[in-house]
Amino acid sequence: MNPRNHLVFLMIIIFIKLLLATTSSQGTTFHFSSLSLQNLTLLGDSYLRNGVVGLTRETGVPSSSSSTVTYNSPITFLDRTTNSTASFATRFSFTVNNVNRLSSFGDGISFFLSPDNKTLGSSGGYLGLVNSSQLTKNKFIAIEFDTRLDLHFNDPNDNHVGLDINSLNSIKSADCASVNVDLKSGNLITAWIDYWHDGRNLKVFVSESSKKPIYPILDLNIDLSLFLQEVMYLGFSASTEGSTETHFITNWSFTSFGIRHVKPRITNPHNVTDNTVSKKNPAIEVPIDRSKHHKKFGLAVGILGPLFFCSILVVFGFISFKKWRETKTDMNIQAELLTGPKQFSYKELKAATNGFHSGRIIGHGAFGSVYKAVSDKGATAAVKRSKHSHEGKTEFLAELSIIACLRHKNLVPLQGWCVEKGELLLVYEYMSYGSIDKVLYQESGHLGFLKWAHRYNIAIGLASVLAYLHQECEQQVIHRDIKASNVMLDANFNARLGDFGLARIMDHDKSPVSTLTAGTMGYLAPEYLQYGKATDKTDVFSYGVVVLEVCCGRRPIEREPEGHKMINLVDWVWELHSRGAICDAVDKRLNKEFDPDEVRKLLLVGLSCTNPDSENRPSMRRVLQILNNESDEILVPKMKPTLSFSNSLPLSIEDIIVSFSDLDEEDASASLVVPTTRIDS
């Protein structure tokens, strides 16, 4: 956009603001530190006691129950006259408990928006939202906090959060264990739900503390205006079926904003017509000294006018400079890559992804979303699209500058790029089977294909590409974010390392640079958490975790099946090694169809790479030689070594940043855990 167009654009904005001077932004705000019947309507089995709403029966014997509680006044969410939709934010605290621990849990609680205040569904898995005999009768937008695994509604487990719209089949759900929350713990749980209409974005946060988490458990782009009505009621619902589970709401806050209402033009404020005023007694008008009014108006114009136009010039200059700088950056990128990967046009990538349709999303990362693209000739590719223009550009340039000059059979091939319309796009070869973690944990149909030979080959391929990055490139590349979700599988189940958004280039003879800690918990080396120094040995540690993950079929950090204790994969395998039973760690789904010697070798390689002492970890070249039977195995101590750090942390807790690359996946390893000053076996 040239400077003249900038000025025209600014004048249009000013004109629109003047036109909207007759409008006002209205919203609703309330805060209940304790609840009362003055503001709420209770239906079904709900009740109020000491400022707390109980949503299901509190009995000592299993029963079926269903109830709702709604805010008395309807809230305006849509104004068709001004075509504006409300954004909103709500915060509430609740507990889910069971007076009889021997009884089963179920079914959960929900926050909902409904076009009427008579919503009351059936008990059981219907959460008090849906009638069992008329599943499509009730209309609602709800966030469910589900404590029952109901396969009929495609629930992922019995401890999840999900977005429901007119159906209990969630549009998207997430495991609460990924943020260390157990809905059934009986602890006070606080939830935050934020919907920003302009960004078409909904975020849900949950925590067992009153402090709002940094990262949401649910984060999805959706336009709720398609489902919102002009006025809707807010409320909560809950249900049980054959259990003694109880549900309580202890406090509730809500605010909405962004609705514009046109103010009616009032030509006669008192609604007085000529017929209602007697002609015999005409009203006496008080004369007004208009000269004083004109003087004041002229003085205001004389003072505010120059300030107004100076402000316009400042804004115009800032926008023009910013646009010039962005254009220069884009031209520099294009100049540097003329001989590199292909430059795609934004138009063809948009067409290939069906307008970046949400149905084409195949993954999420720190950089943004990944879309499946199909060209008009039938060729398939993966397109990474930036999530934030400023932060995304930094990672985009990092990934582009690194990947463009790398060549290895175990890297995800970069096919091209695009910088247009404020978008940053990378085009990669499409990987048929997605990432390792999807094959191991989500897409059970692939389990039959991922035989032991495939797993061992994955470990060799990943070791080969890391040896290349660490020791064979002209400049050493430290990936910094090696994990199962960043290792892709091609059509032949060969490992392909991707996502270089956090990578750093270093000279081979230079010392490691201290940076803010970035990566994913469970894969981070202890010295990296402590000092923030990324080296080739921190990549080796992450590689070791991935190897153990592939061999054992378990996440780096996961909850015990029948308890609340979190299990660290490295510690678990090391404990089996200390008992001389390391091969017991192999994935049981392999049904003993594997080579015991290879299993033992791969598990010992994984432990040697995850040694707490970075000096005792092997190089990736040595690992590759061991796996290819070109070098002797490394002696791994029976007991996990202990490692002591200094008592003073060089980084503050606020400086430790964790990159959540897959927010939509049930990944308990993605939660941030503050490192202690000592790591024990």
- Residues 372-380: contacts with CB under 8 Å, at least 24 apart: 372/430, 373/349, 373/427, 373/430, 375/348, 376/351, 376/352, 380/430
Tokens of 570: 């490295």
Structure-token match 């487990």, residue found: 157
CA dihedral 385, 391, 395, 400 (to 10 degrees): 60
* CB contact at 8 A, 56 and 66: yes
* CB contact at 8 A, 130 and 166: no
Tokens of 2: 């040239």
State the maximum Cα–Cα separation within the chain, in Å, rounded to a whole number. Answer: 117
Please state, in angstroms and rounded to a whole number, the distance separating the CA atoms of residues 251 and 260: 29
Report the 3 state secondary structure along 219-271.
EEECCHHHCCCCEEEEEEEEEEEEECEEEEEEEEEEEEECEEEECCCCCCCCC
Please state, in angstroms and rounded to a whole number, the distance separating the CA atoms of residues 159 and 176: 6
What's the N-to-C CA distance of the chain in angstroms?
A: 61
Which listed residue (107, 164, 219, 481) is catalytic? 481
Report the 3 state secondary structure along 123-134.
CHHHCCCCECCE
H-type helices in 112-223, by residue range? none
The DSSP annotation for 662-676 comes to -TTS--GGGS-----
Query: Is 481 a catalytic site residue?
Result: yes
Please state, in angstroms and rounded to a whole number, the distance separating the CA atoms of residues 165 and 141: 5
By annotation, the residues acting in catalysis are 481
